[in-house]
């Protein structure tokens, strides 16, 4: 989808491993797992989750890409 391969990252919220693409506003090697992304989206809104970790489906919660 994005052209950049996904990689194994560490969730910046819970510390669990996750698959995603690096977001410019995160320390290298950190991203957002789907569970934490869902919680942030529910409690703070989709814009907050995007500001924090990039676009859902591109940077985190990727459904159609293999590592």
In which band, very low, low, confident or very high, does the pLDDT at 63 lie, cut at 50, 70 and 90?
Answer: confident
Does residue 12 lie within any of the structural domains? yes
Does residue 59 lie within any of the structural domains? no
Angle value at C-alpha 26, between 22 and 29, nearest 5 degrees: 55
Q: What is the pLDDT of residues 22-44, one digit of tens each?
A: 999 999 999 999 999 999 999 99
The Cα–Cα gap between 56 and 63 comes to 10
pLDDT for position 3? 76
- Which tokens hold the place of 58? 């591109």
pLDDT tops 80 at residue 2:
no
| 40 touches 49 (CB < 8 A) | yes
Mean local confidence (pLDDT), 40-59: 95
Does residue 63 lie within any of the structural domains? no
Helix or strand (DSSP H, E) at 44: helix 34-44
Q: Say how many domains are in the chain.
A: 1
Does residue 60 lie within any of the structural domains? no
Domain membership of residue 15 as a residue range: 7-53
């Amino acid at each position: 989808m994005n052209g950049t391969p996904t990689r194994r990252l560490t969730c910046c919220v819970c510390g669990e491993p996750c698959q995603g693409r690096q977001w410019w506003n995160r320390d290298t090697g950190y991203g957002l797992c789907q569970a934490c992304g869902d919680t942030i989206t529910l409690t703070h809104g989709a814009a907050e989750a995007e500001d924090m970790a990039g676009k859902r489906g591109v940077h985190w919660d990727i459904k159609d890409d293999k590592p």
